[in-house]
A and B are shown apart, each in its own frame.
Chain A
């Protein structure tokens, strides 16, 4: 694997549509659950150990080469909220466009053909990582990092939070991110023999419910 390739894929400026999504931070800010750096850290930790774990394991499994159609069904099963399913597929489709242009690959072409309206983003992410020559642990790292970097940058825009504080929150989460990524890669290995049911499935009911409410707001800054 190439560290530099990993940086290209993980770069927040990789043009895959993530900038328009807050990962639930907009709803949490409005509800007062995020109001400073400490509460942002709490939110990110919660998201990392629920949605982040699930996404990282799906991405790792896709990077290992497990059947992406089965993984997409597994992602649906782990995403109760229709609004979050729609957001994940939209982001998956946008990532697919960027990944196919960046790392042309038959695996990406096949996944795009199977899901013309978009597969779940973590499944596309893992397939893109594989196309870029990256491994399961790399894909898990990117998915885990995205699960917290999106809310952190969104909170800077939503609350005018000091951007240095937001970066500090992410930096202090780094050891936990490494742990989540390692666990996801192990789960992916297990799923290779036991199937996608072996992948972890923690979820956050509050994130799911808040996403449904947020989708009905007439005025909002972020798409999710």
Chain B
């Protein structure tokens, strides 16, 4: 079996940990956003684009389950020019496209860098999936898991790979907590027990600070990426 040839190839072609593109230039930081259906991933992506687009060159890849709904929402809201938004089709398996077979997503991010680059940041939004969906490290450098208070305040306690291991857990729609009987303090306690030192952001996009805490976290990742 020709597992490898005698010659040493200068690079692999998955670009996983390698911060450089095939042509030697530095690639964009890639951040994944995953989480259950309806938790506010697309709304968070839209808010992040509005908050960061003036200071960063950005693009978005969406992974819709069976339509181009998320990409079209972002286009309609005009959070970025259309050429900076790309949709990947996932064959009814959104977690496969972000974890087990990332080829279509890698192609989408490379196409965006080719066509509208150089880019500082690419947000890769997963299709709404279950609590076990996480991104491959070959696709993203950091991942945000978005849940919401209306999905049940026991989700942090239940854990699962997304809640437990994501680099940032966002608990969205905190403004709804009193209306759906969710206990935010309990969610914070349970999340801390599951995640240890990993950060949690409580967010409402309908007032208060909005997306600002999450945007600040993204800025920190960008700063760390630039000097890496």
Contacts and interface: CB of A to CB of B under 8 A. Distances in A.
B81 interface: no
Interface in B83-98: 88-93, 96-97
Interface stretch (B102-110, B141-149, B175-183, B204-212): B102-110
Category for how many chain A residues contact B: 20 to 34
A163 B107 CA distance: 31
Contact of B91 (A20, A93, A133): A20
Contacts of B3: 103
A222 B91 contact: yes
Given A20-B97, A101-B13, A222-B92, A94 B103 contact: yes
Contacts of B154: none
A45 interface: no
A222 B14 CA distance: 24
Nearest to A118: B107
A19 B107 contact: no
B4 interface: yes
A216 B148 CA distance: 34
Interface stretch (A10-18, A67-75, A166-174, A198-206): A10-18
A223 interface: yes
A11 to B, nearest CB: 11
A222 B89 contact: yes
Interface string A73-112: 0000000000000000010011001101101110000000
Contacts of B5: 104-105
Interface string A210-222: 0000000011111
Interface string A6-50: 000000010111111110000000000000000000000000000
Contact of B102 (A15, A103, A154, A223): A15
Contacts of B67: 218-220
A133 B5 CA distance: 11
Contacts of A133: 1-2
A69 B156 CA distance: 54
B91 A103 contact: no
A221 B107 contact: no
